Chains A and B, each alone.
Chain A
């Protein structure tokens, strides 16, 4: 990461308008409007919002999967589609899919190859990451035999395999049981302790409350509020509801 950089990820006045047409009828909708967001080095930043509030759009813009209609997106000061920026990004989509016949080691070998990791050290790196996510003992088992929690760990492993500076997690605890959620949270805290910046979205307010240094609340495609840990002090849910409720905080 370049020294002196104030934001690992920055979105400046970003608007994303979706235009679709069906049978000659044009539909226009806004994903995000005039969004300003900064994720600082070493922090865990949470994105909260109702369905359709623009969380996924924000992530896709940060990952270069969508291009902004206006405004600028920068990852470590670079446009997200730049290979150097992508090399510093790790992404875990909501409910990731892996072929059932493959083993975690094979899957990580595949993603490691795509990340340009040198073949010589790839096996050691895969073993180290599998150990980190607690899957060493299952590295040779097929994905088809895995529980949701284990699949999610493999998803996290592929996201951190290439040692990125910024890890983006879209609803990582969706569908997990309480024990798996706790294990996953410990993993993320461990990663953050190792210096990784994390951007995470979740519908589970209590999870973000426990994990994040700052939380941004999206409402109808706009960043309505950014709260630091000292500002919510155990009452993030109330702050969230008063913000997203119709007529609530702008």
Chain B
């Protein structure tokens, strides 16, 4: 088995055994229950509230777990010296990072799958007619989580403090939902000076375009209006974004001394 897979499976097992992961799932269960209560309060919009609230929650829980893992995994292994026992074997440092990221992907995917199964069950019990767009929405949420986690992994190596990495990641995540507006503002109110515009444009490229993956608004539209999911461009964007940030994380990690 390749070292990337060995590391990924190890990360996956460790994350599943992590108390934080169990708490995430327990908390998700509680909030899914709350979403049912909120749905009741929404009267005729019950299913819509359940859909929005549930998917939002799945994203948030998946995001918190994945970003936490991404920001802490390398720093924790440096603290416990586990990284010494790994990197003193013929394991390339880039592969080490890839393995840990793949493990995080598996863990986030498993957590989101469990939460979405519970969510879907509640929706079906409430009489919602299943539509494949729900699965596309889930894929979008998963890609958002991965894109944000890759950024967190890079920032953790750059900042060498999990708290700073987490804080900056969450700021960029929230800005990522307003990227089209940010770009519009840069265009409209921008100065003619290249010195002012260049950094603003650069920042607008650093922030991930998370709104791209958002299908929640299409969930309760009629089927013919909600068709045409740009899955190809999603995968391309998420793949490129993750590759760029992981490559930059690898550059930092390869230069790192312990």
Interface residues of B in 1-44 (CB under 8 A from A): 1, 3, 6-7, 10, 14, 17
Q: Separation in Å of the A232 CB from the closest CB of chain B? A: 30
Contact with B along A46-87 (1 / 0, CB 8 A): 000000000000001001111100000000000000011011
In the complex, A147 has a CB within 8 A of chain B:
no
Contact B90–A83 (Cβ < 8 Å): yes
**Which chain A residues lie closer than 8 Å to B198 at the CB level?**
none
A96 contacts across to B, CB distance below 8 A: 81-82, 85
The residues of B that contact A111 with a CB separation of less than 8 Å are 85, 89
Q: With A86-B90, A93-B81, A99-B14 in contact, is A114–B258 under 8 Å at CB?
A: no
Asked if B121 is at the interface of the complex by the 8 Å CB criterion, the answer is no
CB under 8 Å from chain A, chain B span 84-111: 84-92
Question: How far, in whole Å, are A107 and B1 apart by their CA atoms in the complex?
Answer: 15
**B80 on the interface (CB 8 Å rule)?**
yes
Query: How distant is B7 from chain A, measured CB to nearest CB, in Å?
Result: 7
Shortest CB–CB separation between residue B258 and chain A, in angstroms? 4
What is the size category of the interface that chain A forms with chain B?
Answer: 20 to 34
What's the nearest-Cβ distance from chain A to residue B91, in Å?
A: 5
Instruction: Tell me the bound Cα distance from A97 to B79 in angstroms.
Output: 10
A113 within 8 A of B: yes
Residues of A92-109 contacting chain B, CB below 8 A:
93-97, 99, 101
Establish whether residues A101 and B85, one from each chain, have CB atoms under 8 Å apart when the complex forms: no
How many residue pairs link A and B with beta carbons under 8 A? The number is 61
Given known A60-B258, A97-B80, A99-B14, contact A113–B88 (CB-CB < 8 A)? no
Q: What residues of chain A lie closer than 8 Å to B84, measured between beta carbons? A: 63, 65, 91, 93
Q: For the complex, is A206 an interface residue (Cβ under 8 Å from B)?
A: no
Contact of B192 with A by CB under 8 A: no
Q: Closest CB-CB distance, A88 to chain B, in whole Å?
A: 10
Contact in complex: B82, A97 (CB < 8 Å):
yes
Whether B6 contacts A113 by the Cβ 8 Å rule is yes
Whether, in the assembled complex, A222 has its beta carbon less than 8 Å from a beta carbon of chain B, the answer is no
Please determine whether B10 and A110 come into contact, CB atoms closer than 8 angstroms.
yes
Q: Smallest distance from the beta carbon of B17 to chain A beta carbons, Å?
A: 5
> Given A65-B257, A101-B17, A110-B6, A116 and B81 touching (CB < 8 A)?
no
> Which residues of the other chain, B, contact A114 by a CB distance below 8 angstroms?
3, 6-7, 86, 89, 91
Bound together, the chains give a CA A226 to CA B162 distance in angstroms of 43
Q: Which residues of B contact A66 (CB under 8 A)?
A: 257-258
A214 at the interface (CB under 8 A from B): no
Cα(A90)–Cα(B91), bound, Å: 13
Give the residues in chain B near A65, CB-CB below 8 Å: 84, 87-88, 257-258
Contacts of A63 in B (CB 8 A): 84, 88
User: With the chains together, A115 CA to B2 CA distance in Å?
Assistant: 10
Q: Answer yes or no: A89 CB below 8 A from chain B CBs.
A: yes
Instruction: Tell me if A145 counts as interface (CB < 8 A to partner B).
Output: no
Instruction: Flag B67-88 by CB within 8 Å of A: 1 or 0 each.
Output: 0000000000000111011111
Cβ contacts under 8 Å, B14 to chain A:
99
Whether A202 sits at the interface, judged by CB under 8 Å, is no
In the complex, A83 Cα to B90 Cα: how many Å?
5
**A158 CB within 8 Å of chain B:** yes
Shortest CB distance B63–A (Å): 24
Tell me which of A89, A113, A116 has the highest count of chain B C-beta atoms within 10 A of its own C-beta. A113
Taken together as a complex, chains A and B put the C-alpha atoms of A22 and B88 apart, in Å, by: 29
Check if B257 sits within 8 Å of A113, measured CB to CB: no
Asked if A153 is at the interface (CB within 8 A of a chain B CB), the reply is: no
Tell me the minimal C-beta distance from A27 to chain B in angstroms: 15
Specify the chain A residue showing the minimal Cβ separation from B91.
Answer: A114
Separation of A36 and B80 alpha carbons in the complex (Å)? 30
Q: Could you say which of A91, A97, A114 has the most chain B C-beta atoms within 10 Å of its C-beta?
A: A114
Whose C-beta in chain A lies nearest to the C-beta of B93?
Answer: A81
Q: Which A residues contact B (CB, under 8 angstroms)?
A: 60, 63-67, 83-84, 86-87, 89-91, 93-97, 99, 101, 110-111, 113-116, 119, 158, 162
Q: Which 10 A-B pairs have the closest CB atoms?
A: A113-B6, A83-B90, A97-B80, A65-B258, A93-B81, A91-B88, A86-B90, A63-B88, A114-B89, A93-B84
What are 19 A-to-B residue pairs whose CB atoms are below 8 Å? A60-B257, A64-B87, A64-B88, A65-B257, A67-B257, A83-B92, A86-B88, A86-B90, A91-B85, A91-B88, A93-B81, A96-B82, A101-B17, A110-B10, A113-B3, A114-B6, A114-B7, A114-B86, A116-B90
